Amino acid sequence: MAFQWSVLYFLVLLQVSFTPIFAGSSGEEEFSEELLLRPLPDRKVLAHFHFESRAPPTEIYGHHHRLFPKAIYQLVQKFQIREMELSFTQGRWNYERWGGFNPITSANAKPPGVELWAILDVPPDQVDASWKNLTHTLSGLFCASINFLESSTAYSSPDWAFQPSSRSLRYGALPREAVCTENLTPWLKLLPCRDKAGLAAILDRPSIYRGFYHSQRLRLTSTEVGSEKGMESGIVLEQTLTIVLEPDAQRPNTNHLGGRVLQPSWSLRSIFGREISGRCVLAKYSTVFIEVERNLVSELKKLGRRRGVAEIASDSWTDPFFDLSVTPDKTIKEMNVTHGDSSSILYEFSTEKYLDYEPFDVGLTWKLPVVWSSPQAPFRASRFLIGSGNQRGSIAISLKSTEPGEGFMSDLAREGCTVRVDVFQVVPWYVKVYFHTLQVFVDGRHRRVTDALEKIHVSPSEDKVSPGLMEMVLRFPCSMKSATLTIEFDKGFLHIDEYPPDANQGFDIPSAVVRFPDFQASTYYLKDNSRKSALLSKFQEKNLLLSYTEILLVPLATPDFSMPYNVITITCTVFALYFGSLLNVLRRRVGEEERFLKEASMRKGMLPQLLSKLSAKLRGKYKDSPQSSSSSSSLLNPKLMFKVALVAGIAVGWHYYFE
């Protein structure tokens, strides 16, 4: 009877333990993997990997997970993270050629190096301490120098220009951080199948790092702590990898009418060197998309009308302008188009039916040459330095109208129309910015700051304590062609211990963030939520349009680092001369030396002595006896006394000089 009760008790415990795993969708972990491929106007290909892991609330599911990475879960619980984003980027996103008005650009175009921001749900007096511990943890987790962001001179506390207002937000960037496979490998280990199966299996390291742009991002959202009612609770981990590659042109010399060169054909094997051998068995779905953006569709329509060719069809994969090597499972057309009459088209491929012996390798082959441009943001932002020398300078932020053909500015171009621009900029403490010197130029004309400035928040830098922070809200007329903001600064001086090993290269100022709140980068492909695609759902979110400026390289006055070496060298030389001469004088025995010489001469024998005397007689000279030489040598030798006096004088002068 006792044995039966024990078995029954064990079965009850087993059922309670595994109930969350086999419960409904509200209590299950989920993992999905998706890949989007897009041809770019400058003969390159954009590959965007999107992996998403979801974990239900801890009070429902417990502390143990099958799919969600344990390291990330412990990170959330330890530091009470509400939101966090970490990115490793190599290269700079080309807004002019690759576009600046789409969801991928707004969310995944990151500045070079490392960027980290986090919102911590802890008391205000514990935010800085939690941030420092978080940077050390992430540094060990991703094999990077993120721990350099622990210093108060390396991070800031934005108010409202970077993210929604939150006093527990911390932001830091390392522009010079190098990105390599040591950062990618820990990132891939967070996936349930790592890089052994699924879409991550085609991530060949040489193919990735020889690309023009590479950015791996980790976005963490948690609603377990301080979640609001009506929100979907749990932890959501997004891992994205954005790569811009140039495929090998299979027909580089194929020209057509008008001197246009055919776009290079490509496939997964040609750009990654591998094929997809099925999905990750733990993934809810594994999908590959090929996107034809709206500007390309519009150009293909114009080209088709000129050549009398049928237009591209949204419900078919056959097209007179290009061929797909694999028949797509579904063709999706963009909905709710507000920018012109053209819609983006998405070809969907499911990898569930492919295996090792029949891998998936989709490719695109162009039939006719086509030239197009990617959608642009209303203004192209850039930043540069003005001035020369190691004392003063100016930082300039330039905004130039892109004059897009979509016409989304024409709807706003009316009397009294203005465009809002938010600027967020952090400068190190040794770049001493004078915020009162801010000047605004619109279309080459100087304007009063109050005419363009709507709101500003300034946090002056403090030497060796905190960086300078500037947040601005600007209003410009919609008809503006260009605008320039300038602000002056002085270059500070560092202690010799604060210079990096490559100090003569200069010091980096992190990228500034320019946002356009009046515009939202979103693309609607789904009619309802029946087909839940994490990537397409992200496209539907109303992401604010933003862009990052260039990193500034500021040369500072650097000391002559060879002087310490010279001082050390001459000091060691003088000390060696002093002590060597002193020891030589004190330890030298003249009598002993004469005795050694006499004994040596006696060992030569009689025959050499007779021969030496005979030769001396023949020359008319007599050899001095050792006795005479010894008598001429004494301790009162003037040369010896001079050496002793010289060494003593050097010692006295040295002591007097240093006192």
Got the DSSP string for 444-473?
TEEE-HHHHEEEEEEE--BTTTB-EEEEEE
Q: Which domain holds residue 216?
A: 52-282
How confident is the model at residue 607, as a pLDDT? 63
Flag whether pLDDT at 584 surpasses 50: yes
Task: Write b or e for each residue in 217-247: b if 16 or more Cβ atoms lie within 10 A of its Cβ, otherwise e.
Answer: bbbbbbbbeeeeeeeebbbbbbbbbbbbbbb
Q: Tell me, yes or no, whether 354 lies in a domain.
A: no
User: Are β-strands 30-39 and 286-292 bridged in parallel, bridged antiparallel, or unpaired?
Assistant: parallel
How confident is the model at residue 637, as a pLDDT? 61
- The confidence band for 4, taking pLDDT boundaries of 50, 70 and 90, is very low
Which residues are registered as beta bridge partners of 509?
Answer: 552
If one counts the domains in the chain, the total is 3
Burial, 265: exposed, middle or buried (Cβ in 10 Å; 0-12, 13-18, 19+)? Answer: buried
Instruction: Please write the tens of the pLDDT for every residue from 111-137.
Output: 999 999 999 999 999 999 999 999 999
What torsion, rounded to 10 degrees, do the Cα atoms 604, 605, 607, 613 define?
70
Q: Assess whether 541 and 641 both reside in one domain.
A: no
Tell me which range, 131-135, 252-256, 367-371, 479-483, is most confidently predicted by mean pLDDT. 131-135
Residue with tokens 């609770």: 233
Among 306-310, 497-501, 650-654, the least confident range: 306-310
How confident is the model at residue 531, as a pLDDT? 59
Between residues 182 and 559, the one the model is more confident about:
182
Q: Tell me, yes or no, whether 31 lies in a domain.
A: no
Instruction: Please write the tens of the pLDDT for every residue from 60-72.
Output: 776 788 899 999 9
Flag whether pLDDT at 237 surpasses 90: yes
Instruction: Please write the tens of the pLDDT for every residue from 525-535.
Output: 875 544 578 99
- The confidence band for 521, taking pLDDT boundaries of 50, 70 and 90, is confident
Q: Assess whether 496 and 628 both reside in one domain.
A: no
CA triple 190-192-196, angle to 5 deg: 100
What are the C-alpha distances in Å from 481 to residues 441, 476, 484?
11, 10, 11
- The confidence band for 16, taking pLDDT boundaries of 50, 70 and 90, is very low
- The confidence band for 608, taking pLDDT boundaries of 50, 70 and 90, is low
How confident is the model at residue 633, as a pLDDT? 47
How confident is the model at residue 303, as a pLDDT? 82
Q: Assess whether 258 and 158 both reside in one domain.
A: yes
Q: Assess whether 532 and 647 both reside in one domain.
A: no
| CA atoms within 13 A of residue 342's CA, in its CB half-sphere | 20
In the chain, what percentage of residues exceed pLDDT 70?
A: 80
Q: Which of 554, 581, 600 is the last residue of a domain?
A: 554
Instruction: Please write the tens of the pLDDT for every residue from 286-321.
Output: 999 999 998 898 888 888 777 766 555 554 555 678
How confident is the model at residue 301, as a pLDDT? 85
Q: Tell me, yes or no, whether 502 lies in a domain.
A: yes
Please state the separation of Cα 177 from the chain's center in Å. 6
- Mean of the per-residue pLDDT values for the chain? 83
Q: Assess whether 526 and 434 both reside in one domain.
A: yes
User: Are β-strands 482-491 and 392-401 bridged in parallel, bridged antiparallel, or unpaired?
Assistant: antiparallel
Q: Which of 554, 578, 601 is the last residue of a domain?
A: 554
The residue-averaged pLDDT of 352-372 equals 88
SS3 percent helix, strand, coil of the chain, rounded to 5, is 30, 30, 40
The residue-averaged pLDDT of 500-504 equals 85
Between residues 588 and 455, the one the model is more confident about:
455
Q: Tell me, yes or no, whether 538 lies in a domain.
A: yes
Flag whether pLDDT at 8 surpasses 50: no
Residues 6+ apart with CB under 8 A from 81: 75, 118, 119, 120, 121, 134, 220, 222
| Alpha-carbon span 482 to 413, nearest angstrom | 15
Q: Assess whether 515 and 641 both reside in one domain.
A: no
Instruction: Please write the tens of the pLDDT for every residue from 62-109.
Output: 678 889 999 999 999 999 999 999 999 999 999 999 999 999 998 999
Q: Assess whether 133 and 261 both reside in one domain.
A: yes
Q: Which of 554, 576, 598 is the last residue of a domain?
A: 554
The residue-averaged pLDDT of 405-428 equals 72
Q: Assess whether 527 and 635 both reside in one domain.
A: no
Q: Tell me, yes or no, whether 541 lies in a domain.
A: yes
How confident is the model at residue 253, as a pLDDT? 46
How confident is the model at residue 226, as a pLDDT? 53
| Alpha-carbon span 433 to 461, nearest angstrom | 8
Q: Assess whether 500 and 648 both reside in one domain.
A: no
Which residues are registered as beta bridge partners of 88?
Answer: 114, 216
How confident is the model at residue 566, as a pLDDT? 86
The residue-averaged pLDDT of 385-397 equals 91
Task: Write b or e for each residue in 545-572: b if 16 or more Cβ atoms lie within 10 A of its Cβ, otherwise e.
Answer: bbbbbbbbebbbebeeeeeeeeeeeeee
Q: Assess whether 427 and 547 both reside in one domain.
A: yes
End-to-end CA distance of the chain: 96
Q: Tell me, yes or no, whether 600 lies in a domain.
A: no
The residue-averaged pLDDT of 340-353 equals 84
Between residues 420 and 628, the one the model is more confident about:
420
How confident is the model at residue 17, as a pLDDT? 45
Q: What order of strands is seen across the sheet that includes strand 468-477?
A: 453-459, 468-477, 418-427, 513-521, 543-548
601: left (phi over 0), alpha (psi -120 to 50) or beta: alpha
Q: Tell me, yes or no, whether 355 lies in a domain.
A: no
Q: Tell me, yes or no, whether 572 lies in a domain.
A: no
Ranges of H-type helices in 215-283: 268-272
Instruction: Please write the tens of the pLDDT for every residue from 41-59.
Output: 999 999 999 999 999 887 7
Please give the DSSP secondary-structure letter assigned to residue 271: H
Q: Assess whether 423 and 533 both reside in one domain.
A: yes
CB-based contact 55:308 (threshold 8 Å): no
Instruction: Please write the tens of the pLDDT for every residue from 635-649.
Output: 456 666 777 777 778
| Alpha-carbon span 217 to 536, nearest angstrom | 18
The residue-averaged pLDDT of 369-393 equals 90
How confident is the model at residue 530, as a pLDDT? 47
Q: Assess whether 548 and 630 both reside in one domain.
A: no
* Of 321, 422, 332, 435, the residue nearest 377 (C-alpha): 422
